[in-house]
Amino acid sequence: MRKSQTGWWFIAPATLHLLVFAFVPVAYAAYVSLFRWDILRDERTFVGLDQYQRLMADQAFWGSMGQTFKYALMAVPGGLVAALLVALAVSQPLKGMAWFRTLFYIPAVSSGVAIAMLWIYVYLPERGLINTMLMGLGQPSIDFLNESGWALPALAFMSVWVGLGPRMIIYVAGLMSLPVTVYEAASLDGASGWQKFWRMTMPLLAPTHLFVLVTSTIGAFQTFTPVYMMTNGRPMGSTNLVGYHIYVTAWENFNVSAASAQSFVLLFLLGLVSLAQFRMMRRRLEGYDAS
Amino acid sequence: MEGLPTSSALSRRAVLAAGAALALAGCGPRLVGARTVRYANWGSPGDDSDAMRLVRGLYEDFELSTGVDLRVENIPGSQEYLRKVLLSYVAKSEPDVITLDASSAAIFIENGVLQDLMPFVNGANGVLLEEFFPNVVEIAKRGDALYALPVDFNPVLVYYNRAMFAAAGVPEPRDGWTFEDFRATARALTKGEQYGFEFANWMPGWIMWLWNHGGDVLSPDGRRAQGYLDAEPCVEAVQFLHDLVERDKVAPRLSQAASMGVDLFANARSAMKVSGHWELVGLASAPKVNLDEVGVVSFPTRLENPITVAYEAGLAMGRHARNLEDAWEFIRFFTSEATQMEYQRTGIAICARQAVAEKMATTEVKQAFVRAARTARVPWGARVPKYDQVERIGQDMMDRVMQHGTKPAEALRSAAQQIDEVFRDA
């Protein structure tokens, strides 16, 4: 009894923190979404699910959701492939690999704002790093952040770079946990390097793929800092990702009720996407088991 | 031993007391005394420019002459400023004195964020409103109430490089010129890597093209955009701007201008641009333009008289201001003739006091700004609380036309619809 009481005391601070800073705000946001609430005039009217109904016809919100899907489709697979390749490289038993892992991880511990500032310079027309290289190759300069066809891929590319470190570390952990004996047996059976990678490493890493896929997708849907710092949703709404759109609704348009409703719709859709990803991976795992 | 604290208990108390003192003195908020005025202004807290040093000197003068402790809260970024001040109002802790931008004045005024200053203006320690430009005072007026005392303002005009005009043998433009005059002038000045004009997609800078073409963004009561923004005069004006870039090629595309990586006008790469009085500050140290060779002229127009805008800044008092008398004392001090004679040396804007504006207008260019100031229009943001959303939609509309090749009529129709949806939701 005393033991369990001690355990409760230990988890009390974290539980309290979670309650106060996560559960209570989420519950309060749900409550706010049921009102038409003018925070500047402090006038509120209970409207039930009216905010959600209006949201169904809100073109700007669904437009931002569409852009976010596009962004996720660019950033997540790209991020997974890049992280896996780097993880494979830094898992080689070579000298100095620990340094490389550290180097790749540095962006993850840097400030999001500082990173966004850095990438503004990388993408600068004419004088930016990428344009200097392009012009060196005789190509015209591209205004990456102000051309509607380029701005979203530019943000997605940056997110691949930023997320590389954490994803790589997870993949490295996954690779290290793979059973060596299976590989030895495969070598004895004459399996090539590619066969070992494709038929053994990839399936054995399935739980890691799933974890990275789900967390990266959630992260892509929560993207805010680069949009706020680099594009403000422009040009032509091409980078108006849903996280930023919710922020603008709440704190630029001061419509906190609509923003709360938008957050819950996003939560619901993310839940669906994550569920679909779980099911898809489980089916694939079962397929591997059967084969 | 009983009754006497042990050494360990003593040291523990000492540490706790020291910690509390540190928290109060250094880490916690400074305690606000009776004679303290909190003042919110734009700008970076770390700004150490000459202009900022001059302003800080004025703040010190105020503190020395009144004994009031002035706590200046500089907030960088106009959107961030707006948000922070409004949210501090929601928390009933807004600063006593607030710098109010005419472009976003309506959201403050219409939501009751500010105090009516008229009791102070007419009080024993008041000011004479007749000494200010009447159209500028009007910006923060609602009936008999006045919600901000104007400090200064910026009309927006067409800048031109006289040396480039002379070199091309093109006569300098004069007030009352037409859209076709402008096109012909820009054409004559475009050659090689030099452009006649530089267009920027900044709605506060291009709305005057619509006005001078007989159009407007909103209905006169500011409640709808359909029938106005999508009407023929606006479509023609936007088509005109589009043609300058795409058909006449007298102005670079937005992406081309950005890729050049320099201020085209300041580098003598474009002969004309649209800007406010603030432009003169940068031009004073422009690499390839001599300030003496810069001229300004009103917008080309098809109306009887050209129209410009008054982007004004004033001082207002928060509704929950605690120290009303001292807050008013600061507003009075800062808008006084003596202070303004010093403050306007920064050269960013035109003083809202007519006498000071005239005294400071020492060059032809500055005199042209003062002339334009007398008829400058109240910006929509001073009348329509949701106008920042209108500007976002307008900017997107222009991007569609300029970068995506959308027909102006279609882009304007869609923008007008979106704006009316914003108003309907409100």
pLDDT above 50 (res B4) = no
Q: If contacts are CB pairs under 8 Å, which of residues 93-112 in chain A contact chain B?
A: none
Q: Which residues contact B87 (CB under 8 A, 6 or more apart)?
A: A251
The whole-number average pLDDT for the span B387-412 is 93
Q: Which residues contact A252 (CB under 8 A, 6 or more apart)?
A: B79, B83, B388, B389
CA–CA gap between residue A263 and residue A248 (Å, rounded): 12
**Residue A5: its pLDDT value, please?**
86
- Say how many domains are in chain A: 1
The whole-number average pLDDT for the span B156-179 is 96
**Residue A51: its pLDDT value, please?**
94
CB nearest to A235's CB, from B89, B399, B418: B399
In the sheet with B149-154, reading across from the earlier edge strand, the strands are B69-75, B36-42, B97-101, B311-317, B149-154, B350-351
CB B387 within 8 A of CB B229: no
Contact criterion met (CB < 8 Å) for A234 and B86: no
A125 touches chain B (CB under 8 A): yes
Position A21 in a domain: no
Position A8 in a domain: no
**Residue B44: its pLDDT value, please?**
80
Relative to beta strand B97-101, strand B36-42 is: parallel
3-state secondary structure chain A: CHHHHHHHHHHHHHHHHHHHHHHHHHHHHHHHCCEEEECCCCEEEECCCHHHHHHHCCHHHHHHHHHHHHHHHHHHHHHHHHHHHHHHHHCCCCCCHHHHHHHHHHHHHCCHHHHHHHHHHHCCCCCCHHHHHHHHCCCCCCCCCCCHHHHHHHHHHHHHHHHHHHHHHHHHHHHHCCCHHHHHHHHHCCCCHHHHHHHHHHHHCHHHHHHHHHHHHHHHHCCCHHHHHHHCCCCCCCCCCHHHHHHHHHHCCCCHHHHHHHHHHHHHHHHHHHHHHHHHHHHHHHHHHHC
CA–CA gap between residue A98 and residue A69 (Å, rounded): 35
Contact criterion met (CB < 8 Å) for A143 and B259: yes
Relative to beta strand A35-38, strand B36-42 is: unpaired
Please indicate whether the domains covering B36-154+310-373 and B156-308+386-425 agree at the CATH topology level: yes
CB contacts, 8 Å: A41 with chain B: 111-112
CA distance A127 to chain B (A): 7
**Residue A114: its pLDDT value, please?**
94
CB nearest to B111's CB, from A41, A142, A237: A41
Which of A269-278, B9-18, B62-71, B150-159 has the least mean pLDDT?
Answer: B9-18
The whole-number average pLDDT for the span A186-213 is 90
3-state secondary structure B230-284: CCHHHHHHHHHHHHHHHCCCCCCCHHHHHHHCCCCCCCCCECEEEEECCHHHHHC
Cα→Cα distances B176→B166, B173, B268, Å: 20, 9, 25
Q: Write down the CATH superfamily of domain B156-308+386-425.
A: Periplasmic binding protein-like II (3.40.190.10)
Instruction: Return the closest-CA partner of residue B74 out of B63, B85, B60, B62.
Output: B85
Instruction: Return the closest-CA partner of residue A217 out of A281, A123, A149, A154.
Output: A281
Instruction: Return the closest-CA partner of residue B133 out of B400, B417, B361.
Output: B361
Backbone angles phi, psi at A45, to 5 degrees: -125, 135
CA–CA gap between residue B75 and residue A121 (Å, rounded): 24
Which of A151-160, B100-109, B279-288 has the least mean pLDDT?
Answer: B279-288
**Residue A96: its pLDDT value, please?**
84
CA–CA gap between residue B242 and residue B68 (Å, rounded): 54
How many CA atoms does the CB half-sphere of B235 hold within 13 Å?
16
Nearest CA in chain B to A234: B396
Which of B9-13, B119-123, B130-134 has the least mean pLDDT?
Answer: B9-13
Contact criterion met (CB < 8 Å) for B389 and A253: yes
CB B348 within 8 A of CB B151: no
Residue type present at position A210: L
**Residue B51: its pLDDT value, please?**
86
Q: What is the ipTM of this complex?
A: 0.78
In total, chain B counts a number of residues equal to 426
Instruction: Return the closest-CA partner of residue A241 out of A251, A256, A259, A226.
Output: A226
The whole-number average pLDDT for the span A75-86 is 96
pLDDT band per the 50, 70, 90 thresholds, residue B19: very low
**Residue B194, strand partner residues:** B191
Q: If contacts are CB pairs under 8 Å, which of residues 52-91 in chain B contact chain A?
A: 79, 83, 86-87, 89-90
pLDDT band per the 50, 70, 90 thresholds, residue A82: very high
Nearest CA in chain B to A255: B426
CB A148 within 8 A of CB A236: yes
CB A154 within 8 A of CB A231: no
Relative to beta strand B272-276, strand B149-154 is: unpaired
**Residue B62: its pLDDT value, please?**
97
**Residue A285: its pLDDT value, please?**
67
Whether domain B36-154+310-373 has CATH 3.20.20.70: the reply is no
CB contacts, 8 Å: A236 with chain B: 396, 399-400, 403-404
**Residue B166: its pLDDT value, please?**
96
Q: What is the CATH number of the domain that holds A284?
A: 1.10.3720.10
Position A29 in a domain: no
**Residue B395: its pLDDT value, please?**
93
The whole-number average pLDDT for the span B112-127 is 96
Q: Which residues contact A139 (CB under 8 A, 6 or more apart)?
A: none
Instruction: Return the closest-CA partner of residue B367 out of B284, B280, B307.
Output: B280
Write the pLDDT tens digit of every residue in A44-75: 999 999 999 999 999 899 999 999 999 999 99
CB nearest to A126's CB, from B112, B113, B260: B260
**How many pairs of residues across A and B have Cβ atoms under 8 Å apart?**
62
The token pair that represents A206 in the structure block: 């399935």
Contact criterion met (CB < 8 Å) for B404 and A236: yes
CA–CA gap between residue B280 and residue B349 (Å, rounded): 9
The token pair that represents B1 in the structure block: 């031993």
**Positive or negative: CA dihedral A30, A31, A36, A39:** negative
Contact criterion met (CB < 8 Å) for A125 and B255: yes
CB contacts, 8 Å: A54 with chain B: 425
CB B268 within 8 A of CB B288: yes
Contact criterion met (CB < 8 Å) for A255 and B404: no
pLDDT band per the 50, 70, 90 thresholds, residue B73: very high
- Give the best residue of B103, B264, B399 to mutate against chain A (max A CB count within 10 A): B399
CB nearest to B400's CB, from A125, A126, A236: A236
**Residue B28: its pLDDT value, please?**
40
CB nearest to A252's CB, from B255, B388, B418: B388
Write the pLDDT tens digit of every residue in B221-246: 999 999 999 999 999 999 999 999 99
Mean pLDDT in chain B? 90
Q: Which residues contact A199 (CB under 8 A, 6 or more apart)?
A: A191
**Residue A127: its pLDDT value, please?**
81
**Residue B8: its pLDDT value, please?**
44
Residue type present at position A84: L
pLDDT above 90 (res A115) = yes
Nearest CA in chain A to B258: A125
**Residue B24: its pLDDT value, please?**
41
Nearest CA in chain A to B393: A236
pLDDT band per the 50, 70, 90 thresholds, residue A224: very high
pLDDT above 50 (res A190) = yes
pLDDT band per the 50, 70, 90 thresholds, residue B3: very low
**Residue B1: its pLDDT value, please?**
34
- Domain limits of chain B? 36-154+310-373, 156-308+386-425
A234 touches chain B (CB under 8 A): yes
- Give the best residue of B85, B90, B203, B255 to mutate against chain A (max A CB count within 10 A): B255
CB contacts, 8 Å: B111 with chain A: 40-41
**Residue A287: its pLDDT value, please?**
64
Contact criterion met (CB < 8 Å) for B87 and A251: yes
Nearest CA in chain B to A145: B255
B336 touches chain A (CB under 8 A): no
Percentage with pLDDT > 90 across chain B? 79
Write the pLDDT tens digit of every residue in B342-384: 999 888 999 999 999 999 999 999 999 999 998 899 999 999 9
Position A204 in a domain: yes
A237 touches chain B (CB under 8 A): yes
CB B83 within 8 A of CB B42: no
CA distance B228 to chain A (A): 22
Relative to beta strand B69-75, strand B36-42 is: parallel
**Residue B43: its pLDDT value, please?**
85
By residue range, what is the domain housing residue A114?
Answer: 49-290
